[in-house]
Chains A and B, each alone.
Chain A
Amino acid sequence: EDQVTQSPEALRLQEGESSSLNCSYTVSGLRGLFWYRQDPGKGPEFLFTLYSAGEEKEKERLKATLTKKESFLHITAPKPEDSATYLCAVQQTGSARQLTFGSGTQLTVLP
């Protein structure tokens, strides 16, 4: 069974304190790994797609990396507006069109 596990469940950082969120996955074959940001009471917002081990994507203070078993979302010098829940999801190879999501990491950045 496909599994996606995110850690930690919650993370509190001071403004400017860099850190990383982890997403480990077990799938029979990975087509893509996706990162989303979700603000309270809203739908998830797409951040990145990673397709193969070694790939990296960046957007402002966020950088996503991928290995064969896990992905990291690195947050450099975070600001309070980066506070949100970050979701990881995987899509397996074959005919599957759906994504399997992790439970998310709730990030709070304190001023």
Chain B
Amino acid sequence: DVKVTQSSRYLVKRTGEKVFLECVQDMDHENMFWYRQDPGLGLRLIYFSYDVKMKEKGDIPEGYSVSREKKERFSLILESASTNQTSMYLCASSFARVTGYTFGSGTRLTVV
């Protein structure tokens, strides 16, 4: 089975800190995604990548950036964390264009 691993389950950061969320998948999937999930708003796409060094903005990219230097790793960066970025962050990967995602377990980030 494909495994998508997110480096932290829980994180607490201070306002203004630079935050890195790491995601690694082990099945050579070309596509990787970052979503955030908030009550009542569902999953919203932040960024995705379909190849090394390639990235595309999702629906809510403001305040975030991403990095994909290797095929298996996709990092989400909060340049200057703010309290409205407190959320559950979910990483996912998929193969080609016609398959669904495999999700990681999520990182619950709290910005204080």
Contacts and interface: CB of A to CB of B under 8 A. Distances in A.
A41 B43 contact: no
B104 A43 contact: yes
A99 B100 contact: yes
A103 B45 contact: no
Interface residues on B, range: 20 to 34
Interface of A: 31-32, 34, 36, 41-46, 49, 87, 89, 91, 95-104
Contacts of B108: 41
Given A42-B105, A87-B43, A103-B41, A97 B100 contact: no
Given A43-B4, A103-B40, A103-B41, 6 more contacts: A32-B98, A42-B105, A45-B103, A46-B100, A49-B100, A91-B98
Nearest to A51: B98
Interface of B: 4, 31, 33, 35, 40-43, 45, 48, 50, 58, 90, 92, 94, 97-106, 108
A34 B43 contact: no
A101 B48 CA distance: 15
Contact of A97 (B41, B48, B103, B105): B48
B64 to A, nearest CB: 15
- Give the 4 A-B CB pairs with smallest separation, nearest first: A43-B103, A103-B42, A101-B43, A34-B100
Contact of B97 (A34, A97, A102): A97
Contacts of A32: 98, 100
